[in-house]
């Protein structure tokens, strides 16, 4: 049976970055940008339940679909 106890010794913080052509952005920053973009458009009309984010660094964009009915995009990186 696996040990399911977590101790303070095993706790850690994790940050994931997308790096492309000398630039970088954290996944948390992308999530925040998507949420802010969605909120600006929907103005609280619809609470996100299902969020899919597609990173396309060659376009410098993150495309997203929320609740399978709204699609949008945010800029990830400055175009080189």
pLDDT 10s digits, 9-65: 788 999 999 999 999 999 999 999 999 999 999 887 888 899 999 999 999 999 999
CA distances from residue 4 to 1, 7, 9, 10, 72 in whole angstroms, order as listed:
9, 10, 14, 12, 39
Domain boundaries, the chain: 15-75
What's residue 40's pLDDT?
Answer: 92
Q: What is the pTM for the complete model shown?
A: 0.77
């Amino acid at each position: 049976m696996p040990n399911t106890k977590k101790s303070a010794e095993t706790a850690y913080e994790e940050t994931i970055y997308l790096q492309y052509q000398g630039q970088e952005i954290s996944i948390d920053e992308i999530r925040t940008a998507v949420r802010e973009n969605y909120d600006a458009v929907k103005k609280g009309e619809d609470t996100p339940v299902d969020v899919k984010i597609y990173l396309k660094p060659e376009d410098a964009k993150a495309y997203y679909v929320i609740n399978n009915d709204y699609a949008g995009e945010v800029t990830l990186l400055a175009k080189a």
